[in-house]
Amino acid sequence: QVQLVESGGGLVQPGGSLRLSCAASGSIFGINSMGWYRQAPGKQREFVAVSISGGTTNYADSVKGRFTISRDNAKNTVYLQMNSLKPEDTAIYYCNVVHRQGSAMSALWGQGTQVTVSS
């Protein structure tokens, strides 16, 4: 059974940086996309960034120019480099992988990692 294991969250001061990692354990094939979402207290989960197989990346407007998503396909791992962090970036960050399972597409979610931006 495939699981997504996230790491790299923590407490950082405004203006600081963090790097999140998400590794897929187990056998996984036909990955369509790997991405990140976040959920702040009292808010709905929102899209942050995605890396689509083939090289396309997309970002939420709120993180463009500050966050960078990258992938290591050999390791089935996706990263999120977060720079110039702001208090409003505080949230639980979730990894998301969409992959082919049989004739359908299936979505996997990580357990989430807390990012807190505060002085």
Give the N- to C-terminal CA distance of the chain in Å, as an integer.
40
- Tell me which residue of 105, 102, 95, 114 sits closest to 25, measured CA to CA: 95
Q: For 62-119, how does the pLDDT look when each residue is reduced to its tens digit (9 = 90+)?
A: 999 999 999 999 999 999 999 999 999 999 999 999 998 888 999 999 999 999 999 9
Q: Going by DSSP bridges, is the β-strand pair 57-59/67-72 parallel, antiparallel, or unpaired?
A: unpaired
How far is C-alpha 38 from the chain's CA centre?
8
Instruction: Tell me what pLDDT residue 26 has.
Output: 82
